[in-house]
Structure 1
Amino acid sequence: MARATEPWAALAAALTRSAPASSDFDLSPEAAPPNRRLRPAGVLMAVEDRPDGARIYLTKRSPALKHHPGQIAFPGGKQDAGDPDPVAAALREAEEEIGLSRAGVEVLGTLPPHETVTGFSVTPVLARVAAPFEPVPEPGEVAEIFAVPFGHLADPGNYTVQARRWRGQMRHYYTVPWGPYYIWGATARILRGLAERLAS
């Protein structure tokens, strides 16, 4: 009998449910700049089943980075010329950033794209870690790799809305804190979208 903590059936069902694209401006549409052009990117939502329950891998970005220093993010990045699609970009970046071999990953599907304030259309790629995996952070880009319990991120009740001033305007955003980690912005919004689909 499958353990109650195994998320695979729930994730498969969630992927069949339709949902609109999301944006960093969902909660503050007045802050969205006009005539914006978005570049394609992909992030990997890597889910691993463990004896104590499933977890999703996240990273803490290096404080030395120019963009989003010290923030919590999925492994991933922009689609390069050699990437046929955002899924390939997410798999390549995860291999580079956290040492997760694409050969050890089973792609389950994708969520609707998410627009970021930095001008990217990000495709979240939902995947199962299908082989033994020892995280290795990429020097200079990733300060830390950690895994958050799937149940915590799948519960819409764990998300709150907060606000801060951004480019002279107040911008509202989702947060889903866990332990010492302040998960917010695009990462929290993408996770919130998954939680909504799981709960529906």
Structure 2
Amino acid sequence: MSGSSLSMNDFLSRFQLLQPPVPRVSGNKRQAAVLIPIVRRPQPGLLLTQRSALMRKHAGQVAFPGGAVDDTDESLIAAALREAWEEVAISPDSVEVIGTLPPVDSVTGFQVTPVVGIIPPNLPYQASEDEVAAVFEMPLMEALTLGRYHPLDIHRRGNAHRVWLSWYQHYFVWGMTAGIIRELALQIGVEP
């Protein structure tokens, strides 16, 4: 594989062959899930949203579609698919779920499971006005370039915590979203 491209077949085979590490034990009890939508193209894309400035938590931040697990959700995957439908009108039937990444703890007390899914290239996204300000696509190869993520160590409640920061066009990608993308990049191993 060349260093400047990543085909859908490359991504799928690497994701399926390189299993994520065993999940660590989380202190967070509340469950949430996000969908990592990979757009099926010759050069795949990564679909992201920018949260509405009116949101109570994480206003204006770049994020994956997702949220808390409801009592009606049969699984974490079902929760991620439901949230993607509610936030950007991605029909659950149009998502080919290929797996999950290890859960991560959010600063708001949730254990968040990233669900990786492939979506068609021609979906008509419709952002929920209450939750989503913008929907945009980033080239997957660019998203998975580890060198684009810069660490920032912060101290919160007496604990050191590393946050990852990056820019794409005019979007500031940081926090849990940047950390999840970086984790996917480490698993896929697109760089030497």
- Residue 65 (structure 1) aligned with residue 55 (structure 2): yes
Aligned counterpart, 1:41 = 32
Aligned counterpart, 1:32 = none
The number of residues matched between the two structures is 185
Would the aligned equivalents of 1:6 and 1:49 in 2 still touch at CA under 8 Å?
A: no
Q: What CA distance in whole angstroms lies between the structure 1 residues aligned with 2:120 and 2:107? A: 33
1:118 match: secondary structure: coil
AA of the residue aligned to 1:184: W
Q: What CA distance in whole angstroms lies between the structure 1 residues aligned with 2:63 and 2:48? A: 6
Would the aligned equivalents of 1:164 and 1:171 in 2 still touch at CA under 8 Å?
A: yes
AA of the residue aligned to 2:126: V
CA displacement at 1:168 relative to structure 2: 7.8
Aligned counterpart, 1:159 = 149
Q: What CA distance in whole angstroms lies between the structure 2 residues aligned with 1:164 and 1:37? A: 20
CA displacement at 1:6 relative to structure 2: 2.0
Gaps of 5+ in 2: none
Q: What CA distance in whole angstroms lies between the structure 1 residues aligned with 2:168 and 2:22? A: 26
CA displacement at 1:158 relative to structure 2: 1.5
CA displacement at 1:22 relative to structure 2: 7.2
* 1:1-200 to 2 correspondences below 5 Å: 5-16=6-17, 17-21=19-23, 36-50=27-41, 53-130=43-120, 132-163=122-153, 166=156, 171-199=161-189
1:176 match: secondary structure: strand
Relative to the length of structure 2, the TM-score reads 0.86
CA displacement at 1:9 relative to structure 2: 3.3
1:10 match: secondary structure: helix
Q: What CA distance in whole angstroms lies between the structure 2 residues aligned with 1:131 and 1:170? A: 40
